[in-house]
A and B are shown apart, each in its own frame.
Chain A
C-alpha cells in the first residue's frame, strides 16, 4: 500500500475544532490546491524501515 503521489504541501493550525462526531472537517483532500512542484516518488507504506535518509523518500506509513 502506498500513500500515492504528492499533491500539495501546506501548513494548518490545530484549531481544536471537532464536530459532534469527533471528525474534523477537512479529510485530507483539499480542493483545487494541487502542488505547483514537480511530482515526486510515492511514499510507500511500511517500505522504508531501516532505510538510510538518502532512500527515505519512500518512507513507511508507520513512522511515529
Chain B
C-alpha cells in the first residue's frame, strides 16, 4: 500500500503499530437495485456512502483533505470494545444495523474508546437482530434506501412471513470480498419467553379443532333444527 502523505494538522510524530487494529462498528446492509451487489452504509454522516469489504474513507464535507482530519468529523469510525458497540446498537435508530468486526488501518486518530481512521476491511458480521428481538439470520427490504441501493434489515424466520429475503450467507456472497458471518445469540440478553402455551386440560373441548370446522358444525346443527321446525309447522 502506498504510504499516505504527511498529516498537515496532526503532530509530526505518530504511532506506527506493526499490526492493524480490530474494531467494532454498526452499519446498514444495502443491496444494489439489480440485487447483484451487496454493501454497507453508515448510519448518520456516512449514510449516503456505500462501501464494500475494503473501503477508503472520504470526507463528506471537504474532499480536498484526506480523512481523518482532526478538526473535521471525517473518516471511518469504530469502537475498541464489542460491548460498547452492542450498547450503541440498542439505540432505536440503530436497531436494524448490523454489528461488524473490522480491521482499521491507514491513518488514524486513536481515542479512549475507539478510532477514526482512513482504511477499513470488514471481517465479520457479528450481530443481526430482528425488530422482534430474535436473531435475524436473513435480510429483508427495510423500506428505505439510496439511489441504486435498498436498505436491508435483519429479520427472523417468523417475521419474514413470506417476504423476499436474503440469508446473511447470500448477502455476504454478494460482497466484493470475504466476510464471515458469526452471529451469536448473545447479541441480546433477552431469553425466549418462559411462558408456556396453555395445556390441553386448560382448553375448551373444541380447542383442538380449527375454528372454521367448529363454525361449520354449528351451522349444520342450526340447519337441522330449522328443518325439524319446518317439518313440524307443515304438520
Contacts and interface: CB of A to CB of B under 8 A. Distances in A.
State the main secondary structure of chain A at its contact with B: loop
B134 interface: no
B108 A26 contact: no
A14 B55 CA distance: 12
A47 to B, nearest CB: 9
A29 B80 contact: yes
Contacts of B106: 11-12, 14
Given A10-B17, A61-B88, A36 B105 contact: no
Contacts of A3: 77, 79, 111-114, 116
B15 A63 contact: no
A8 B103 CA distance: 18
Interface residues of A, number: 50
B15 A1 contact: no
B124 to A, nearest CB: 6
A45 B43 CA distance: 11
Interface in A8-39: 8-15, 17-18, 22-30, 33, 35-37
Given A27-B22, A63-B45, A64-B42, A9 B14 contact: yes
B20 A1 contact: no
Given A49-B44, A61-B88, A63-B74, A6 B22 contact: no
Given A35-B11, A61-B79, A63-B44, A12 B21 contact: yes
- In this complex, the interface size class of chain B, counting residues with CB under 8 Å from chain A, is 35 or more
Contact of B109 (A1, A9, A63): A9
B3 A11 contact: yes
B70 interface: yes
Interface of B: 1, 3-4, 7, 10-11, 13-23, 25-27, 42-47, 49, 51, 55, 57, 60-62, 70-80, 84, 87-88, 91, 93-94, 101, 103-116, 119-121, 123-124, 180, 182
7 contacts: A15-B20, A28-B23, A28-B78, A28-B110, A56-B72, A60-B45, A62-B25
Interface of A: 1-15, 17-18, 22-30, 33, 35-37, 40, 42-43, 45-46, 48-53, 56-64
